[in-house]
Structure 1
Amino acid sequence: MIKPKTLRIWCCVRYYLALCLAKGQSSETVRNKRSGLKKFFLWCLNLNVHFVDQITIDLMDDYLEYLNSYRKKLDHQPLSDAQKRSLLTFVKTFIQYLHRKGIIAENTLASIELPSRGFKVPKALYSVQEIELILDQTLLFPFKGFRDRAILELFFATGMRRGELSKVNLNDIWLEEQKVKVQGKGRRERILPLKGRAFEWVVFYISKIRPKFAQINSGNALFLCENGKRISPSKLTHMVSQYIKLAGIERPGACHLFRHAAATEMLENDASLRHIQEFLGHASILTTQIYTHVSKAKLISVYMATHPSAQEKSGLFD
């Protein structure tokens, strides 16, 4: 891979992104990095900052100030703490790689202090009854609805991310063992059970529905679009959102909410955090711990069983 002959920011960004792809990072990860670095690059242009050796901690302090005041175009809301941290991390890692490759003499952002990513509890949690209502909407549409039902059942049964589900191939469904192999983030594979109704819907889709979508360009992809190509993450989001609306549920979010629902139900039925971490494919259990805050039923039952205020009778109104 040819190193850039100039220190101009965007020339170095293109080299860095190509390096990320060569190292096996997913196209979605690289796309996010490109978007974040483009935002930083355009901001730098307004300040007449054109070269990577001009990127200092003082400049990043100014960039953070800009991010704090930034409002999103769609809803005019501020960036979350996690979004600001990610945007700064994109730049920090970019500079770190350039230094590691000898393109710049000093890692000027080595000692940068990143803001906390904050803590945000998912707002739109679905009950099992609501999940069932959403699943039922697929039966309104023949063939396409059967495919979509298999997708939604797989989402809820496995807690997969949308990017993971779109990558599932036919040979990732282990029919005899009733398991599915998942290609997670950072090339981490995990094997998940696929039982009961979800297994039956996936088998039905493979045997009866997929052949109606399959074309010469379909390859080994499990879930296919109407044109026979592998279904994309964005297509999954649009599809799930439509079924949520048909169910009469007006809450934000789509595919990821099945993941939240699966994890929350497991926690409320006494699954350990370690098992849920493995189930969801989280690299750190700190990410999994968010579900201890959304499992309200479990919190209330533990409180009632253990807290003195919930157990003693005052006799005040006897």
Structure 2
Amino acid sequence: MQKPTTKRIWRCVKYYLELCLAKGQGSDTVRNKRGGLKKFYLWSLERNVTRTDQIDLDLMDDYAAYLNSYRKALDNEPLSSAQKRNLLTYVKIFIKYMFIKKLLPTNTLDGIELPSKGEQIPKALYTVEEVEVILEQPLLFGIKGLRDRSILEFFFVTGIRRGELAKLNIDDIDFNTGLVRVHGKGNKERLVPISPRGREWLAFYIGKVRPMFAFIGSGKALFLANNGKRYMPGKLSDMASQYVKLAGFDRTGACHLFRHNTATTMLDNGADLRHVQEMLGHASILTTQLYTHVSRKKLTQVYNDTHPSAQGCSGLF
């Protein structure tokens, strides 16, 4: 790739995003960076800031103030602490790489203070019963519904990310051991178990459903879209959201809701935190620990076993 010969912000951003892809960062990650940097770029243009050497700590203070006052168009809600931190971090890392690549003489944002991202509790489909209602919805839609049912079942039984599911090939599935080889973030592979019910749906899909979509260009891709090509992550979200809404639930992040359910249900049923971390492919156990906040069954049991008010103390009468 060719280094920019100009310090114009967006030309440098495009070069930076090419670097991110070359380093093996996931398409979703790079897409998020592009969106965040575009937001900053458009804001900068309104202030006649067009070059990377104009980006300094004072400018970022103004940008942080803008983010604090920003309200989302859909619901007029403010950005969360994590969203504001991420948007500032995108710019910070971008400038750092411009310095590393000698496109800037100094790293002008080296001393930036980022806001705390707070502690976000993951949203989840809290009950297995809710998940089962969602899994029933595709069965109303013929052969495409059977394919979609197989995909949602796979999300449910493995807890993998949508980008990981989209990358799966047929030979990543080992029916003898009941394991699937998942190509995770940072080019890290892991083995994830598949339940007997999950294997039954997968075998049915591969044997009866996939051939209805496949053509010579399908290759070894496991899950195929209507055009016979590999399912794209964004389309997986659209599909899953459709069935979540049909089931009567109004929750965002449909694909991730299955992942959240996998984590919380396993923790509720006594799974070790390290095992859940390995299954979900979290680099840090701190990420997995967030799910303990929504592990309601275990919290309720501990409360009933230890709190004096739950130990048979007399009531009002």
Residue 216 of structure 2 aligns to a residue whose secondary structure is: coil
**Post-superposition shift, 1:226?**
1.4
Q: Distance in 1 between matches of 2:251 and 2:89?
A: 30
**Post-superposition shift, 1:45?**
1.0
What are the residue-to-residue correspondences of 1:121-270 with 2, within 5 Å?
121-270=121-270
Residue 217 of structure 1 aligns to a residue whose secondary structure is: helix
What are the residue-to-residue correspondences of 1:34-53 with 2, within 5 Å?
34-53=34-53
Deviations 1:110-150 (A, max 9, x none): 11111111222234533111111111222222221211111
What are the residue-to-residue correspondences of 1:112-123 with 2, within 5 Å?
112-123=112-123
1:305/1:116 CA distance change after superposition, 3 Å: same
Counterpart residue identity of residue 143, structure 2: F
1:316/1:78 CA distance change after superposition, 3 Å: closer
Counterpart residue identity of residue 191, structure 1: L
* Paired residues of 1:124 and 1:253 also in contact (CA < 8 A): no
Q: Distance in 2 between matches of 1:20 and 1:293?
A: 33
Q: What is the RMSD computed on CA atoms of the aligned residues?
A: 1.5
1:143/1:55 CA distance change after superposition, 3 Å: same
1:74/1:313 CA distance change after superposition, 3 Å: closer
Deviations 1:230-286 (A, max 9, x none): 111122112112222222233444111111111111001001211111111111111
* 187-196 or 263-272: bigger deviation: 187-196
Question: Could you list the runs of 5+ residues in structure 2 that have no partner in the other structure?
Answer: none
**Post-superposition shift, 1:22?**
1.6
Q: Distance in 1 between matches of 2:241 and 2:3?
A: 43
Residue 248 of structure 1 aligns to a residue whose secondary structure is: coil
* Paired residues of 2:123 and 2:260 also in contact (CA < 8 A): no
* 233-242 or 56-65: bigger deviation: 233-242
Counterpart residue identity of residue 96, structure 2: Q
* Paired residues of 1:138 and 1:146 also in contact (CA < 8 A): yes
Q: Which runs of 4+ in 1 moved over 4 A?
A: none
Residue 192 of structure 1 aligns to a residue whose secondary structure is: strand
Counterpart residue identity of residue 83, structure 1: Q
* Paired residues of 2:124 and 2:258 also in contact (CA < 8 A): no
Counterpart residue identity of residue 179, structure 1: L
* Paired residues of 1:124 and 1:252 also in contact (CA < 8 A): no
Percent sequence identity over matched residues? 64
- 2:284 maps to 284
1:50/1:121 CA distance change after superposition, 3 Å: same
* Paired residues of 2:124 and 2:261 also in contact (CA < 8 A): no
- 1:295 maps to 295
Q: Distance in 2 between matches of 1:269 and 1:157?
A: 15
Counterpart residue identity of residue 108, structure 1: T
Q: Distance in 1 between matches of 2:33 and 2:315?
A: 62
Residue 289 of structure 1 aligns to a residue whose secondary structure is: helix
Counterpart residue identity of residue 254, structure 1: A
Deviations 1:176-226 (A, max 9, x none): 211111111222211101121011100110111101100122111101111
- 1:61 maps to 61
Q: Distance in 2 between matches of 1:8 and 1:92?
A: 16
Q: Distance in 2 between matches of 1:294 and 1:278?
A: 19
The TM-score normalised by the length of structure 2 is: 0.95
Q: How many residues align?
A: 317
Q: Distance in 2 between matches of 1:143 and 1:285?
A: 40
The TM-score normalised by the length of structure 1 is: 0.95
Q: Distance in 2 between matches of 1:59 and 1:151?
A: 46
Q: Distance in 2 between matches of 1:136 and 1:314?
A: 46
